[in-house]
Structure 1
Amino acid sequence: MFYIGVDLGTSACKFLLVNEAGEVCHQVTREYPLSMPHTGWSEQDPALWWKACLDGIPALLQGFDAAQVQGIGIGGQMHGLVALDAAGEVLRPAILWNDGRTAKETDYLNNVIGRETLSRYTGNIAFAGFTAPKILWMKEHEPALFARIAKILLPKDYLVYRMTGRFATDYSDASGMLLLDVEHKCWSKEMCEICSVQPEWLATLYESWQFVGCLQPEVAAALGLPAGVRVCAGAGDNAAAAIGTGTVGDGRCNISLGTSGTIFISRDRFGVDATNGLHAFAHADGGWHLMGCMLSAASCNKWWMDDILKVTAKDYPAEQAPITEDKLGRNPVFFLPYLMGERSPINDTDARGTLIGLSMNTTRADITQAVLEGVAFAIRDSFEVARSIGVTIPRSNLCGGGAKSALWGTILANVLGIPLDILVTEQGPGYGGALLAMVCCGRFATVREATDALVHVSRTIQPDPALTARYEERYRKFKQIYPTCKALFKELAD
């Protein structure tokens, strides 16, 4: 039997065909453009995601018996606002997770409604990327379209809707809307009233592995699949990636170096830190998790390599080659990785990328190293928030495109001072989606049973005490840069 895992990303949709043994038998990727009509804006047409499915899934099945496919699970980019009218048609391009237009709305929620109130209702404060501020922005700036809203979905839920005809979401993805009472796993009546959201606009809530519906006959035919294929609710990308990396159960951790960067700490009970610097969300395993999310991680390296140095991905290793072991922890150049503003833990849409420490002796490799280190230091910021509330993180998994760089893995292990495990199969949210589909179809009784059986460590990056000590000193200096620049960022934005 086969299971399809879908990773609905910001720049591409990735499809995995996974067998009962957890082996990835085939994978296909379909890319699509990102629209940035104004500085700080980030939008996408949901039709592009569906087109990727219509093209990608049949290509995925080539050479395989489609009749053996049992289920589909989707892990998707979180927080995006997909507004539909009464006919189920998209009203406007989806406003994505990394969109920064909602500074005013975020400020209103945090400082007028109040952080304590928001945390009481949802377990979280407002971040510009969350869905609720986008809804308020749409109400203010596009009132005619707002008046036509009949349903509000998240990106992966739009694909579930197109596949099954049902409006569904899961707790992990819904946690990032700022409309869910995360602790009690229900929609917050108070937040709906604050954001002028009608309860009927919201999708039915499910656990991530739960069955939503079978493929509609016409959709099954278009995808080249049997009509009986089961579709589960799926999960937000980070929760799905955590399933795919076996980050299940209390105290397990996963760090992802994707377009965004995340530190994901699985917990068996709900809890928040004093400043809400970390998100307190539901997990796809039925529990909860703490998560720090930085808006630009591997995308910082891509920006530096592609847009500034004008090299291609195959040249990335050559650019990193001059960064030898003796240079680690000794770089005089620092980089703030806030190219799109920042979420965790500073929550500042005005923050911007910054290089500091340049001199006439600075080399191209120094700046490349600073970019990699800056991302690692920013992840450490969230790591420190978790530590401040007594969370112990003895080790972590490492996944995402950035994890392919041995140098970056070494830097991160030593900045954090913990071992980082690299997995045998690391396919991010798509693999987690496939495992959720297995549980949905009865292949495994629980998510934990699935991950224990199928997720295995390939190798471990061990920190070096001497290098960790050097990076500790560098991190203390890095920590001073943002507070020093904060007021200037605001002034420049104004």
Structure 2
Amino acid sequence: MIKDSSYILTIDIGTTHLKCIIYDESGKIKAQSSQSHSTHFSLPGYAEQYPAIWVSNLQNLLHKIEDEHPEIVKSIQGISLTGQMHGPIFLNSEKEITYPCLIWSDTRAHEEVIFLKNIFTTDSILKITGNPIQESFTLPKILWLKNHQPNLFSYIDKIMFPKDYLGFLLTDIIATDHSDASGSLLYNLSNHCWSEEIIDNCELKKSLFPDIIQSDAILGKVSRKAAQQFGLLEGIPVIKGGGDLATTALATGTVQKESLSLCIGTAAQMLMSLDSIEEKLLGRLYLFSHCIPQCYFCLGTVPTGGSSIQWFQNLFESENKELIYNELNTIYDEITGRNILFFPYLMGTGTPYFDYQANAAFLGLQMNHERNDLIYSIIEGIIFALKDSLISISNSNIKKIFLSGGATRFSIWPKLVSNIFDRPVFAFKNADTATIGAFLLGAKPLGIVKELDTFINSLTPEDPFLPQIKYTQIYEKKFKKYRHFSNFIREYSTYDKDFLEYI
């Protein structure tokens, strides 16, 4: 056990914000600050961020925390990293950025996806990487730059991920971890290494890709240059950390057997830890290496989770969410039986169908329906879509659910999740679960935590939301309707296209 005045700094380079959160040895937040950064959508399908902005923001945040909490900053015992996955960082031999980061939502690499599908069969790529070929992964983005900027690409010396770049700035050491590497479509999931077969077939140099180390390994120590630049003490150990999905899975209890983690943010995600690769999941869910050695986790997604609510609010200029959710709670009994279904396919389905051409829809609208009926059906639809991913793998061993993300601030969400999944739901109030996971990865090698499982159990919220049979029966019937009509909703966009060509 370390002395009371020792702390771990976690840094999370997310899609919309850079966060710096300092935890004490009990996992409590002692200081924090965040700053937003922009994504540039210069052309359809483009989504770029500039790493120089991340660096500037990190300097500002750390100096701000140093000014406000100088004694805490002086007592930082370690730094642990996490961040958005899939976006490549391109460095030349001088270790300078050569091109903006094409983040996970950048979908410009259509031709490269077609190229990869011509080289690899669906079964072969799933067997190697655990994932389908899609524009969101790193490899198509790398090939896009290689094809469209060949001269610039020839100068690239190393490719890494966002958290790895921050780790390099702090320590002068380049490496990645297994969780981020497994989100690249360049990683052999069974052998826990870069796939030479994929690298060779794509005519890439293996030297482009950094060494892969464990997420809880010490990457290096804060260099003198970094100490001066960021206002930190020289020599602080920097833990490698993991991709934000992996650290979220760790923090929200999915290392526990028979448990499931749901995260409701801009997107909605389902996370479940695995001891081994389960073939029945291939092509239905995404599979990644965990930030825990020799473990995996699977991911189910609803691309427009909480953003479906935001879309509706923007469209109809609805009042703030807190008022809406409180009102829904008061009329829960009355509104539960309303026969409206919402299919949250505003950006396609995500898992288990991987149908990104599908359209969203309301079904069952009548003249007597009001705004609250529609919002309630949107929440139901998001949770139904998450359950669809779980049902598709026929996993009935789940005994409890951990819920995190912004939705946990409103009791209507865990109440509905509990009744729709028919499981107890433990709702985390701290929305920054990715940084909690990063803290845990740092706490073990620094000697703060001896047994991760025991410590994670201590973070588990008390007083779960329990399912109520009068509601679970209603939702079981409604979910069957949802799955049945989902087939027709997903066929709509294809049918509409064929019909227009016919007429």
Which runs of 5 or more residues in structure 1 are unaligned?
A: none
User: 2:61 corresponds to which residue?
Assistant: 56
CA distance in structure 2 between the partners assigned to 1:492 and 1:204 by the alignment = 48
Q: Which has the higher contact order (CA 8 A, sep 6+)?
A: 1
Measured after TM superposition, the shift of residue 68 of structure 1 is: 0.7
Structure 1 residues 275 and 226, CA gap change in structure 2 (3 angstroms): closer
Amino acid at match of 1:120: K
CA distance in structure 2 between the partners assigned to 1:404 and 1:392 by the alignment = 28
Structure 1 residues 353 and 166, CA gap change in structure 2 (3 angstroms): farther
User: 2:166 corresponds to which residue?
Assistant: 159
Q: Does 1:469 align with 2:477?
A: no
The alignment partner of 1:167 has SS state of coil
User: 1:217 corresponds to which residue?
Assistant: 224
2:191 to 170, 184, 191: 184
The alignment partner of 2:337 has SS state of coil
CA distance in structure 1 between the partners assigned to 2:153 and 2:486 by the alignment = 37
Measured after TM superposition, the shift of residue 231 of structure 1 is: 1.1
Q: Does 1:140 align with 2:147?
A: yes
Structure 1 residues 483 and 380, CA gap change in structure 2 (3 angstroms): same
The alignment partner of 1:471 has SS state of helix
User: 1:20 corresponds to which residue?
Assistant: 25
Does structure 2 retain, via aligned residues, the 8 Å contact 1:250–1:268?
no
Does structure 2 retain, via aligned residues, the 8 Å contact 1:278–1:292?
yes
Does structure 1 retain, via aligned residues, the 8 Å contact 2:337–2:474?
yes
RMSD: 2.4
Does structure 2 retain, via aligned residues, the 8 Å contact 1:257–1:399?
yes
User: 2:309 corresponds to which residue?
Assistant: 301
Does structure 2 retain, via aligned residues, the 8 Å contact 1:5–1:432?
no
User: 2:103 corresponds to which residue?
Assistant: 96
Structure 1 residues 221 and 122, CA gap change in structure 2 (3 angstroms): same
Q: Does 1:441 align with 2:449?
A: no
Does structure 1 retain, via aligned residues, the 8 Å contact 2:426–2:460?
no
Amino acid at match of 1:376: I
Paired residue total: 488
Structure 1 residues 486 and 176, CA gap change in structure 2 (3 angstroms): same
CA distance in structure 1 between the partners assigned to 2:407 and 2:463 by the alignment = 16
Amino acid at match of 1:339: L
Does structure 1 retain, via aligned residues, the 8 Å contact 2:131–2:282?
no
CA distance in structure 1 between the partners assigned to 2:116 and 2:396 by the alignment = 28
Does structure 1 retain, via aligned residues, the 8 Å contact 2:408–2:429?
no
CA distance in structure 2 between the partners assigned to 1:492 and 1:86 by the alignment = 51
The alignment partner of 1:54 has SS state of helix
- Mapping of 1:49-88 within 5 angstroms? 49-61=54-66, 62-65=68-71, 66-88=73-95
1:256 to 263, 266, 280: 263
Does structure 2 retain, via aligned residues, the 8 Å contact 1:245–1:426?
no
1:138-186 Cα offsets, whole Å, 9 max, x none, are 3334434333332211222222122222221111121111111112211
Structure 1 residues 219 and 302, CA gap change in structure 2 (3 angstroms): farther
Amino acid at match of 2:312: W
Structure 1 segments of 4+ aligned residues over 4 angstroms from their partners: 490-494
Of residues 188-197 and 200-209 in structure 1, the stretch that sits farther from structure 2 once superposed is 188-197
Does structure 2 retain, via aligned residues, the 8 Å contact 1:249–1:267?
no
User: 2:296 corresponds to which residue?
Assistant: 288
Q: Does 1:325 align with 2:332?
A: yes
Does structure 2 retain, via aligned residues, the 8 Å contact 1:103–1:349?
no
The alignment partner of 2:169 has SS state of helix
Point out the structure with max Rg over C-alpha.
2
CA distance in structure 1 between the partners assigned to 2:176 and 2:24 by the alignment = 25
Structure 1 residues 491 and 231, CA gap change in structure 2 (3 angstroms): farther
Does structure 1 retain, via aligned residues, the 8 Å contact 2:406–2:431?
no
Measured after TM superposition, the shift of residue 123 of structure 1 is: 2.4
Of residues 408-417 and 355-364 in structure 1, the stretch that sits farther from structure 2 once superposed is 355-364
Q: Does 1:405 align with 2:410?
A: yes
User: 2:501 corresponds to which residue?
Assistant: none
Measured after TM superposition, the shift of residue 395 of structure 1 is: 0.7
1:224-256 Cα offsets, whole Å, 9 max, x none, are 211111111111112111222233244332111
CA distance in structure 2 between the partners assigned to 1:327 and 1:10 by the alignment = 38
Amino acid at match of 1:472: E
Structure 1 residues 141 and 53, CA gap change in structure 2 (3 angstroms): same
Measured after TM superposition, the shift of residue 448 of structure 1 is: 3.4
Measured after TM superposition, the shift of residue 380 of structure 1 is: 0.8
CA distance in structure 2 between the partners assigned to 1:351 and 1:108 by the alignment = 23
Structure 1 residues 21 and 191, CA gap change in structure 2 (3 angstroms): same
Structure 1 residues 251 and 182, CA gap change in structure 2 (3 angstroms): farther
Measured after TM superposition, the shift of residue 211 of structure 1 is: 0.7
TM-score (norm 1): 0.91
The alignment partner of 1:209 has SS state of coil
Measured after TM superposition, the shift of residue 40 of structure 1 is: 4.0
CA distance in structure 2 between the partners assigned to 1:108 and 1:349 by the alignment = 19
User: 1:268 corresponds to which residue?
Assistant: 275
2:39 to 34, 37, 43: 34
CA distance in structure 2 between the partners assigned to 1:90 and 1:158 by the alignment = 10
Measured after TM superposition, the shift of residue 490 of structure 1 is: 4.6
Which runs of 5 or more residues in structure 2 are unaligned?
A: 1-5, 499-503
1:360 to 330, 354, 367: 367
Structure 1 residues 285 and 144, CA gap change in structure 2 (3 angstroms): same
CA distance in structure 1 between the partners assigned to 2:50 and 2:496 by the alignment = 31
Amino acid at match of 1:21: S
User: 1:116 corresponds to which residue?
Assistant: 123
Structure 1 residues 229 and 446, CA gap change in structure 2 (3 angstroms): farther
Amino acid at match of 1:485: I
Measured after TM superposition, the shift of residue 450 of structure 1 is: 4.2
Does structure 1 retain, via aligned residues, the 8 Å contact 2:267–2:305?
yes
Does structure 2 retain, via aligned residues, the 8 Å contact 1:127–1:347?
no
1:204-230 Cα offsets, whole Å, 9 max, x none, are 111111111112212122222111111
1:344-391 Cα offsets, whole Å, 9 max, x none, are 2221232343333334333221221122112111111111133x2x56
Amino acid at match of 2:456: T
Structure 1 residues 423 and 189, CA gap change in structure 2 (3 angstroms): same
The alignment partner of 2:463 has SS state of strand
Measured after TM superposition, the shift of residue 275 of structure 1 is: 4.4
